[in-house]
Amino acid sequence: MANMCPYGHFTHAVVRGIPETFGKKAGDSQENGEVSVDLAKAQRQFGCLTGALRQKVGLQLIEIPPDPELPESWKIEDVAVIHGDTALITRPFKQQRQSEVEAVRRVMSELNLTVVEMDREQGDSVGATLEGSDILFTGREFFVGISSHTNRRGAEVLADTFRDFAVSTVPVCDGARLKNICSMGGPNTIIFSNSDGAKKTLRCWLGARRLCVMLDVRVCLQMMEQLTDHHYDVLTVPEESAANCIYIKGPSKRDFLLHRPADECPDSVSAFQKLQDYTLLPTACSEASKLGASLSSLCLLVNRKHTYF
């Protein structure tokens, strides 16, 4: 349909700087106790990422200045879901994060995107939460990880916003986020982690029975395979951290893949090299990943040259 085109064409990237409060989670700081993050390093890594997006890939970069009041605002992926000329402003799970959306909403409007608010219909979306890091958009359909941060209501709002697409839910649990275990690696390729060691437990539905089973990542993949009408190539990587990449078919029509560098996922780099004719851009993300984020968390990708036909 109108909105359907191969995944990966982007013209703009929206990022938000790393505040000094980086590492302090919004609201409850207790769960963050053990994690020590290097702010300067995080900012350096952020700079590398934005530099790669701008100079290597050739995207127009829009950087929203950091806000110390919003320590997690750099995880900008969570606050909007963009496809075509529609931007759904999400409602993050944590109350404290919900004010992050304002700046993003402004940028979306400036980009002439049709901004859709999650709470436009109060009745429907009461209690709905949705975060972008639980959403995998493949160009043909959405997968929504029903996680601790994203609930079914939220997914319904997403489905209602992007009506052309199938929106399938993939239950995820134990704090995992869908985008942590998979991401797009090409117009038709999903990168999936196959980490035996870190068997992320996922809660899956079996059949239509609500059987909650603890299963590893591969089941999630199977689940997605079962749910989809399409066929995707699956690139499996041995490390979980490597599963989150950013694929962009830049204005130059070349395939770019931003992935974690070899020192962050030594075993997986060879897998990326299988991708032929790709320009691989190793991009460090060690600090952000300590906070449960990953490469894709740091940017929103927009295609303003979207054509409908």
Helix (H, G, I), strand (E, B) or coil at 57: helix
Q: Considering only residues 137-156, where is the footprint of other proteins by CB under 8 A?
A: 140-141, 144, 152, 155-156
Contact status: 279 vs other proteins (CB under 8 A): no
Contact mark string toward other proteins, 164..203, x via CB under 8 A: xxxxxx----------------------------------
Strands 233-237 and 60-64: unpaired
Q: How many CB atoms lie within 10 A of CB 215?
A: 17
From 299, 234, 259, 307, select the one nearest 80 (Cα to Cα).
Answer: 299
Q: Which residues, numbered 76-105, are part of the site for other proteins (CB under 8 A)?
A: 84-86
Q: How far is the CB of 197 from other proteins (least distance, A)?
A: 19
Give yes or no for residue 3 binding other proteins (CB under 8 A). yes
Site string for other proteins, 210-249 (x = CB under 8 A): x--------x--x---xxxx-x-xx---------------
Give the C-alpha separation, 298 to 44, whole Å: 13
276 near other proteins, rule: CB under 8 A: yes
We find the least distance from the C-beta atom of residue 68 to other proteins, in angstroms, to be 37
- Consecutive H or E run containing 221: helix 217-227
Question: Contact, 262 vs 279, CB < 8 A?
Answer: no
> What is 153-178 written as a DSSP string?
HHHHHHHHHSTTSEEEEEE--TT--H
User: Considering the rule CB under 8 A, would residue 159 count as an interface residue with other proteins?
Assistant: yes
Looking at the Cβ atoms of 195 and 268, the one nearer to other proteins is: 268
